[in-house]
Amino acid sequence: MKWLRYGCAIAAVAAAATFGGPSAALAQDYPTRPIRLLVVTAAGGLMDVAARVTAEYVGKALGQSIVIENRPGGGGNLGAEAIAKAPPDGYTIGLIQLGNVAINPHIYADMTFDPLNDLVPVAPVTSSPILVVANAKVAANNLRELIALAKQRPGKLSYGSGGPGTAPHLAGEMFKGLAGVDILHVPYRGVGPAVNDLVGGHIQLTFAGWARSAAQWKPASPRSWR
């Protein structure tokens, strides 16, 4: 087996002003009401899993419930914008990918916020290798056979991602370049919907984090290579 040398880092963030001065986030009785945790991808993906685990443990530590809201779209920009423009009171935090800060500003010309200045990091949450995942009916038993199949059928195989500029999208494009194959990119509003369509046979491949792929490992489920 071979690793596709690409990873997905996930971090918790908040509006930049949250920790910049006197606020509810710094008050001794914080928090006094539920906290919103905005996730920039659709339910069911790696980030959603990380958010729910984080919310459970952090909520217990704070003695307050954390309500998860999924805000997918725009490669994570819709959710990240909602975080950046939320009241800086510590009651809206978010979960973003590294790409939302390091990549999106370079590929989206119409961003209405500056992630470097309008968001402040709170804590790293998790990271995951990205796996090459294929529908069980794809005629390949390993990565070498998959590459050979893609070269035999240029433009006929498709892969799903969480949207333009997301880690699965960049992993897919890197795979195409390294392997010298032509595979059609199909963007989704999150990796969760992409994996669901993969299982249903609507696409042949995706590039997904370990947690999301492992959840589908059962008879007649997709195959994953690393």
**Residues 144, 118 share a domain:** no
**Residues 116, 42 share a domain:** yes
**Residues 137, 105 share a domain:** no
**Residues 153, 122 share a domain:** no
* Global model pTM greater than 0.85: no
Q: Which domain holds residue 220?
A: 129-225
Integer CA distances (angstroms), 40 to 76, 103, 208, in order: 5, 15, 16
CATH number of the domain bearing residue 46: 3.40.190.150
Q: How would you classify the pairing of strands 92-97 and 7-15?
A: antiparallel
Tens of pLDDT, residues 5-24: 344 566 777 777 565 444 54
Please check whether residue 1 lies inside any domain of the structure: no
Task: Give the span between the Cα atoms of 49 and 155, in whole angstroms.
Answer: 32
Residue 167's H or E segment, with its range, is: helix 167-179
Of 127, 148, 174, which residue is a domain's last? 127
**Residues 121, 13 share a domain:** yes
Of 101, 127, 153, which residue is a domain's last? 127
Per-state percent for the chain, helix, strand, coil, to nearest 5: 40, 25, 35
Number of domains in the chain: 2
Determine the distance from the C-alpha atom of residue 193 to the mean position of all C-alpha atoms in its chain, rounded to a whole number. Answer: 12
Integer CA distances (angstroms), 181 to 158, 175, 191, 223, in order: 11, 8, 22, 19
Total count of residues recorded for the chain: 226
Specify burial of residue 117 (Cβ count, 10 A radius: 0-12, 13-18, 19+). Answer: exposed
**Residues 123, 134 share a domain:** no
Of 127, 158, 175, which residue is a domain's last? 127
Tens of pLDDT, residues 115-163: 989 999 888 888 878 889 999 999 999 999 999 999 999 999 999 998 8
